[in-house]
Amino acid sequence: MQNGITKTSVRTLFLVLLIYLPIQYAAVGVVGYYDAEPWPAFVFPGFKSVYVYGDGFEITRTVFDVETLHRQRSYDMSPQELFPEIPLSQIPGFVRTHFSDEEAVQSISREGAEWLRDKSADIAGFEPHAMHIIELTEQYIHTESGPRLQMALETGRITILF
C-alpha cells in the first residue's frame, strides 16, 4: 500500500468503526428514551401558511394575550415579540410545537411558566395574572389601496394562569 497504510490498519479501522457505531447509536437511543433528544430538533417551517382564493387570502396566526387579575389591563403580543431570540423562519414551528394544544401548554415547567410571566411583564409593563394563547384565522381581500382585513375568527384559545 501507499503512504504507509497497510491492509491491517484498514481492517483495524473498519472493525473499530463496526463496533463503535452501533454502540454510539444505542447510547443515543437510551439517552433519548430517558431524557430529551441529545441533539436539537429540526422543525421545518410551514410552506403553505397563506391560503389564496378568488379575490383574497387567509392566514392563521398566534397571539399571546396577557391580562391582569380582573382584566383591568391586557396586552397582545406576537410570538416574534415574546421570543425575539428565535429566528423568524423558525417561529411558526416553535409555536406549533410548544403552544398548539392544551397538553403541550400544560407540560410547560414551573420555571418555563415563570419565564413567560416575567418576559411578558417586561414587555407589557404590568404584572400579568394570565396568558391566553389565541389562534386567529384572518381573511383579507384585495382592494385598490392594498389588502384589507375582512374577517378575523378566533379558532383556538389556551390559558396559562400565573
Using the CB atoms, write b or e for 136-145: b if 16+ within 10 Å: eeeebeeeee
User: Looking at per-residue confidence, does 11 or 100 come out higher?
Assistant: 11
Domain boundaries, the chain: 1-39, 50-161
Query: pTM here?
Result: 0.65
Highest mean pLDDT (candidates 67-71, 100-104, 151-155): 151-155
pLDDT at 49 over 90: no
What is the rounded radius of gyration, in angstroms, for the C-alpha atoms of the chain? Answer: 24
Alpha-carbon gap, residue 28 to 39, rounded angstroms: 9
Q: What pLDDT does 123 receive?
A: 95
